[in-house]
């Protein structure tokens, strides 16, 4: 089995150009967005609808996985007193499916 490398990146305050340059520098061909609510007033260049168009325009696949892998699950079983229980989230079937999803 071929070993693969998984990179993580936060958009921080990068410009679109800076973000694309970082992806290119490391040969990234696909981005999986794991934000539960991928929208920002402060950095709107990284909103889901923008990324969904921008990345493919630069030869990078965009895949939204916020429902499966995001930190704010819609499943009430993942919460205790309103706080996410990450061990429950990580063992949930939808989370495990998100880890193996390809497209």
Rounded to two decimals, the pTM is 0.81
Question: Of 50, 33, 49, nearest to 98 (Cα)?
Answer: 33
Q: Give CA–CA dist 26/39, Å, rounded.
A: 25
Q: Give CA–CA dist 65/101, Å, rounded.
A: 9
Percent of residues, the chain, with pLDDT higher than 70: 97
Q: Give CA–CA dist 16/11, Å, rounded.
A: 9
Q: Is a pLDDT exceeding 80 seen at residue 2?
A: no
8 compared with 4, residue with greater pLDDT: 8
Q: Are 38 and 48 in contact (CB under 8 A)?
A: yes
The mean pLDDT of 40-61, rounded to a whole number, is 93
Q: Is a pLDDT exceeding 90 seen at residue 48?
A: yes
- For residue range 18-30, list pLDDT tens digits in order: 999 999 999 999 9
């Amino acid at each position: 089995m071929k070993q693969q490398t998984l990179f993580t990146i936060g958009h921080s305050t990068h410009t679109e150009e800076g973000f694309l340059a970082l992806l290119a520098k490391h040969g990234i061909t696909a981005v999986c967005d794991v934000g539960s609510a991928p929208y920002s007033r402060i950095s709107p260049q990284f909103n889901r609808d923008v990324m969904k168009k921008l990345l493919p325009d630069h030869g990078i696949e965009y895949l939204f996985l916020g429902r499966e892998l995001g930190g704010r699950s819609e499943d009430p079983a993942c919460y205790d007193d309103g706080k996410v229980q990450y061990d429950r989230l990580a063992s949930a079937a939808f989370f495990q499916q998100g880890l193996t999803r390809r497209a």
